[in-house]
Amino acid sequence: MRDKMHHISKLEKLPPKREKVETIKILRQLSKSSKALGELKGIAQTMPNQAMLINAVVLQEAKDSSEIENIITTQDELYRALATKTSQPSHIKEVINYRKAIFSGHELLKKQGFLRLKDIEFLQKEIIENNAGIRSMAGTVLKNDKTGEIVYTPPQEKDEILDLLGNFLEHFNIVQDDFPPLINLAILHYQFESIHPFYDGNGRTGRILNILYLIINDLLDIPILYLSSYINEHKSEYYRLLNTVNKSNKWEEYILYILKAIEVTSSRTIAKINAIKKLLLETIQIAQEKEPKIYRKELIELLFEQPYSKIEFVVEKLNVERKAASRYLKKMENIGIIKSQKIGRESIYVNEKLIEILKKH
C-alpha cells in the first residue's frame, strides 16, 4: 500500500517557485536557445514561399513525434500517402492526422490568437480520431514498458483534471507570464504531460502545444520548430527528467534539456532552410537555362511545396489544362529536376534532391 501511495503525489498548480526554474545554469542556456530561435525566425522570413517550409518541416515532425509513440513510418511513405488517393494503413493515417492537427492548431491561432480547452480537445480528437475526450474514469497509470512498474499516476478525478487544465491555459495564453517564454514552455510542457488529460494522444497533443505557444509569444511566425527529433535521440533521458520533476520537484536538469532541444533543433532547422534555399536557386537556374519557354516560378515552387507532385497539383496551382500540366512535368523530368514513378495507376513526380535534404536531421 505504501508503495502505491508513493506514486500518487498531488500535481501542483502553476507557477512553480522562481528559484527552482531560474537558476544561473538555466539563464545561461536560455540566452543560447533564444539566440538560435531568433535566428531561425529571421531566416524563415527570407524564404520566398513559406508553404515550402511549413509542408516540409511539419511532415518531418509528424513522423518524428509519432515515432516517440512507436508509430514508425518513412518520409517516402508519407509523401506517397499525401500524393495518392489509395487508402492508407493505420500507422500512416495516424501520422497524417497529426500533420492535419498541426495545421488546424495554426489556423485556430491565426483566427483567435489563443487556445481554449475545447480547442485542445479538438486537436487531440483530430490526432486520435475518437470522441473519448477528457478522462472521466479513474485507473490511468503510466508504466515502464519493460518492467511493468508504475512510474507515475496522473490526477484521477475529472474535476481535478479540468481545474488543472484551466490553470494551465491561463499560463499558456498570457504572453507576459511569470517567466521568460522559453522557460515557461518547458514548465507548460511538463504540466500538460503530467495532467495527462486524455486516454491517448497526450504526448502528441503536448508537442503541438509547444509550437503553438512559440507562435502565441511571437517567437516564430509559422510552425517550423519541433523538439521531437531531439526527444527521439534522447528519449530515456526525456522520460527520466519528467519523472525527476514529478518525484522530487527538481526542475533544473529538465528545463536545461528542453532549452538545449530548442537550441539544437533551431540550428538544424536553419541548416535545412539554407540547403532548401540553395537548391531552389539552383533549380530555378537550370529550368531558366534549359526550358526557358515553360519556366514559371510557380511551377518550381510547387515542386518544393509538394516534393511528391502530380498533374492535378500543377493544374490547380498554375491554372492550366491537364495536357499542359503533364507536358510541364515531363520537361522538368527531362532536365533532371524531378523523377517520375508509378504508384498504382498514378504517375507521381518526385523532387529527389529536396527529399534528401528533408531526410537529414
Q: By the 8 A CB rule, do 262 and 182 touch?
A: yes
pLDDT digits 0-9 by tens, 72-130: 888 888 888 888 877 788 889 989 999 999 999 999 999 999 999 999 999 999 999 98
CA atoms within 13 A on the CB side of 133: 9
Amino acid of residue 111 = K
* Three-class secondary structure of residue 202 per DSSP: helix
| pLDDT computed for residue 343 by the predictor | 84
pLDDT at residue number 50: 87
For residue 162, give the C-alpha cell: 479540468
Q: What is the CATH number of domain 22-271?
A: 1.10.3290.10
State how far the Cα of 76 lies from the Cα of 142, in Å rounded to an integer. 33
Segments in the chain below pLDDT 70: 1-9, 176-177, 361
DSSP-derived pairing of the beta strands 308-309 and 150-152: unpaired
CATH class of 275-359: mainly alpha
User: Distance between CA 195 and CA 319 in Å, rounded?
Assistant: 49
Task: Tell me which amino acid residue 16 is.
Answer: P
Q: CA angle, corner 356, sides to 265 and 96, nearest 5? A: 70
Contact status, residue 304 vs residue 280, Cβ threshold 8 Å: yes
Q: Is the bond preceding residue 89 a cis peptide, omega within 30 degrees?
A: no
Q: In the chain, what are the domain boundaries?
A: 22-271, 275-359
Please give the model's pTM, rounded to 2 decimal places.
0.93
Letter for the amino acid at 358?
L
Q: Report pLDDT for 170.
A: 94
pLDDT of residue 2: 32
Between vectors from CA 262 to CA 37 and to CA 153, what angle results, nearest 5°?
145
Give the model's pLDDT for residue 8.
59
Residue with cell 487556445: 115
Cell 536545461 belongs to residue: 256
Q: Where are the extended beta strands (E) located within the chain? A: 142-143, 150-152, 308-309, 339-343, 346-350
What's the pLDDT score for residue 177?
A: 63
Distance CA 309, CA 270 (A): 25
Alpha-carbon distance of 307 to 87, in angstroms, equals 20
User: What is the secondary structure of 148-213 as a DSSP string?
Assistant: --EEE----SHHHHHHHHHHHHHHHH-SS-SS-HHHHHHHHHHHHHHH--BSS-HHHHHHHHHHHH
Q: How far is the CA of 91 from the CAs of 32, 66, 77, 243, in angstroms? A: 37, 9, 11, 28
